[in-house]
């Protein structure tokens, strides 16, 4: 190696980690939280050679219960607020929590969580307002959270109107007219302060958990969707940043063009950004998003990174994605500003999919690590960017790759192996060097020279199709898988065999 490549080896630490969404953690009350199981999982990672906990987006889930379609880019998911901690604080009782049907440990039941968990949290809020320190604590948190007012008012109006999306509100509320909001203020004031209270308690629990993770040598890797949901406080409160017209309709929406998988492409429905406005405005919205992420995560994976180089924009009235076109984004200028700001979070780029020269140039310019996915490596194409031989030997490649067995959109590796054709199996077995499959692939990846290796908990446990997190293109039944408590010990043993 040349001297400059040798020097580069000092710029990073080789780490291994596990992907497990917060909602998948074990708990008594229907969904994973920031409570005891999260601390236990950090202990498992720390004790068995893992130093990264990779999670999915932590925002307030909306349409389809997807963490990639959130009501806010800034707020945390109220479902993650740990009830047992609220019991310890005297804000709830165990009997009150046990009396609520929030589902079981088999899968997240978002209908029950919405119907029963939020009213329970309102009880905790009512008790908290009687505490001597409540007003001063809330004032302090409010002043430190510039996004909080817009989010809380948005959610309170939405609650008041039965969940109706903001673009269907009357003209005054839709356009954030001060007089219109003042007219309904008395009827939403309690809900506004309720949503602020929930975010304050989430911030307290998150801060304690993050500090614990760092003390244990574990870095939390967050995940940020590139686009914001149309029905979100972001599009309502910061509309100028999006290609949305004066009536609240998107002018253009995001998607992907026709390809091997779809003759008509895909329409995602998220409004695309107005990059000209953002550039003129100094990228204030993106800087706010990234600064918020730096408060939460040590490492940040940004989804659909290619959209910072060029993005596919489809007229909102188009019947399908064939009418779209590629347009230039301003990612280079944005990330130059991010670098100058000294953002205290490492960024990982999800550079999967249709990657063109402009995307590669942007990735090189930023120096961000890209991704490779083991399940994509064995199609026989010698130029496949996920090809396993690229995971070792060349330090210039090594220091800029984060290797996954699969992501949240892939089937668990065991299910993938069951469905793989014979040619794929032979190539994969060769990479695994004769080890028993499919665990041989997991072990081989764990031993690779990639900068970071991230393995979904399902792959450590060799779980099958019923443990899949998401099947792209399906509108329901996703994001529900939960890890049962009795699997924590086998998970710890499996991590130890892989990493220790």
Listing from the earlier edge strand, what are the strands of the sheet with 266-271?
266-271, 252-256, 310-315, 325-328
* 95 annotated active-site: no
Cα 453 to Cα 177: distance, rounded to the nearest angstrom: 49
* 4 annotated active-site: no
Query: Which of 10, 9, 12, 56 is closest to 457 using CA atoms?
Result: 56
Tell me the sheet residues that pair with 262.
259
Cα 451 to Cα 334: distance, rounded to the nearest angstrom: 25
Neighbour tally for 11: CB within 10 Å: 9
pLDDT at 38: 98
**In contact, 478 and 64? CB cutoff 8 Å:** yes
- pTM over 0.85? The answer is yes
Cα 482 to Cα 461: distance, rounded to the nearest angstrom: 13
SS (H, E, C) the chain: CCHHHHHHHHHCCCEEEEECCHHHCCCCCCCCCCCHHHHHHHHHHHHCCCCEEECCCCCCECHHHCCCCECCCCCCCHHHCCHHHHHHCCCCCHHHHHCCCCCCCCECCHHHHHHHHHHHHHHHHHHHCCCCCHHHHHHHHHHCCCCHHHHHHHHHHHHHCCCCCHHHCCHHHHCCCHHHHHHHHHHHHHHHHHHHHHHHHHHHHHHHHHHHHHHCCCEEEEEECCCCCCCCHHHHHCHHHECECCCCCECEEEEECCECCECCCEEEEEECECHHHHHHCCCHHHHHHHHHHHHHCCEEEECCHHHHCEEEEEECCCCCHHHCEEEECCHHHHHHHHHHHCCCCEEEECCCCCCCHHHHHHHHHHCCEEEEEHHHCCCCCCCCCCCHHHHCCCHHHHCCEEEECCCCCCCCHHHHHHHCCHHHHHHHHHHHCCCCCCHHHHHHHHCCCCCEEEEEHHHHCCCCHHHCCCCCCCCCCCCCECCCHHHHHHHHHHHHHHHC
**In contact, 271 and 243? CB cutoff 8 Å:** yes
Tell me the sheet residues that pair with 273.
242
Tell me the residue length of the chain: 500
Q: Which of 223, 303, 330, 459 is catalytic?
A: 303
Residues 6+ positions from 190 with CB-CB distance below 8 Å: none
* 303 annotated active-site: yes
Listing from the earlier edge strand, what are the strands of the sheet with 346-349?
346-349, 299-302, 219-224, 52-54, 15-19, 452-456, 401-404, 370-373
**In contact, 431 and 441? CB cutoff 8 Å:** yes
Which stretches of the chain score pLDDT less than 70?
Answer: 1-12, 260-261, 388-399
**In contact, 482 and 105? CB cutoff 8 Å:** yes
Query: Which of 300, 312, 392, 279 is closest to 346 using CA atoms?
Result: 300
Cα 235 to Cα 229: distance, rounded to the nearest angstrom: 8
Max distance between CA atoms of the chain, in angstroms, equals 71
Q: What tokens does 431 get?
A: 């990479």
pLDDT at 11: 45
Tell me the CATH number of domain 3-499, given options 3.30.300.30, 3.40.50.720, 3.40.50.1820, 3.20.20.80.
3.20.20.80
The pLDDT tens digits of the residues spanning 386-438 come to 875 544 444 455 568 899 999 999 999 999 999 999 999 999 999 998 899 99
pLDDT at 495: 98
pLDDT at 6: 30
Q: Which of 43, 295, 394, 409 is catalytic?
A: 409
Residues 6+ positions from 254 with CB-CB distance below 8 Å: 227, 268, 269, 270, 271, 272, 307, 311, 312, 313, 314
Q: Which of 109, 350, 351, 459 is catalytic?
A: 350
pLDDT at 62: 83
């Amino acid at each position: 190696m040349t001297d400059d490549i040798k020097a580069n080896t000092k710029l990073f630490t080789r780490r291994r980690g596990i992907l497990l969404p917060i909602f998948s953690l074990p708990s008594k009350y229907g969904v994973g939280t920031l409570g005891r199981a999260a601390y236990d999982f950090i202990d498992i990672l720390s004790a068995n050679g893992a130093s990264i906990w990779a999670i999915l987006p932590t925002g307030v889930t909306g349409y389809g219960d997807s963490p990639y379609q959130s009501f806010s880019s800034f707020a945390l998911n109220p479902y993650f607020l740990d009830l047992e901690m609220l019991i310890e604080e005297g804000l709830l009782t165990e009997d009150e929590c046990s009396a609520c049907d929030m589902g079981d440990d088999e899968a997240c039941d978002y209908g029950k969580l919405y119907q029963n968990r939020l009213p329970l949290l309102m009880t905790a809020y009512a008790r908290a307002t009687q505490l001597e320190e409540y007003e001063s604590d809330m004032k302090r948190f409010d002043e430190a959270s510039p996004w909080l007012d817009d989010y809380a008012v948005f959610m309170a109006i939405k609650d008041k109107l039965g969940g109706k999306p903001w673009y269907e509100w009357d003209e005054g509320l839709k356009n954030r007219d001060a007089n219109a909001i003042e007219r309904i203020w008395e009827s939403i004031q309690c809900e506004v302060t309720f949503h602020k209270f929930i975010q304050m308690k989430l911030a307290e629990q998150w801060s304690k958990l993050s500090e614990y993770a760092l003390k244990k040598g574990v870095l939390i890797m967050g995940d940020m969707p590139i686009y914001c949901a149309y029905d979100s406080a972001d599009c309502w409160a910061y509309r100028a940043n999006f290609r949305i017209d004066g009536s609240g309709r998107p002018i253009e929406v995001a998607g992907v063009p026709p390809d091997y998988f779809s003759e008509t492409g895909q329409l995602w429905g998220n409004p695309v950004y107005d990059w000209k406005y953002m550039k003129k405005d100094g990228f204030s919205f993106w800087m706010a998003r990234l600064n918020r992420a730096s408060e939460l995560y040590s490492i940040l994976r940004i989804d659909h990174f290619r959209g910072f180089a060029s993005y596919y924009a489809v007229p909102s009235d188009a019947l399908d994605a064939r009418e779209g076109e590629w347009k230039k984004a301003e990612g280079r200028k944005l990330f130059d500003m991010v670098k100058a700001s000294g953002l205290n979070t490492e960024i990982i780029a999800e550079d999967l999919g249709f990657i063109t020269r402009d995307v590669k140039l942007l990735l090189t310019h930023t120096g961000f690590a890209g991704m490779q996915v083991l399940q994509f490596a064995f199609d026989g194409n010698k130029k496949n960017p996920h090809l396993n031989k690229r995971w070792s030997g060349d330090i210039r490649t090594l220091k800029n790759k984060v290797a996954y067995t699969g992501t949240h959109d892939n089937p668990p590796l065991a299910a993938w192996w069951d469905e793989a054709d014979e040619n794929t199996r032979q190539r994969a077995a060769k990479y695994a060097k004769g080890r028993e499959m499919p665990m041989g692939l997991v072990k081989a990846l764990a031993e690779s020279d990639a900068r970071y290796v991230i393995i979904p908990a399902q792959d450590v446990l060799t779980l099958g199709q019923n443990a899949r997190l998401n099947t792209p293109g399906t509108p329901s039944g996703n994001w529900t898988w939960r890890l049962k408590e009795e699997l924590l010990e086998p998970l710890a043993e499996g991590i130890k065999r892989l990493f220790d």
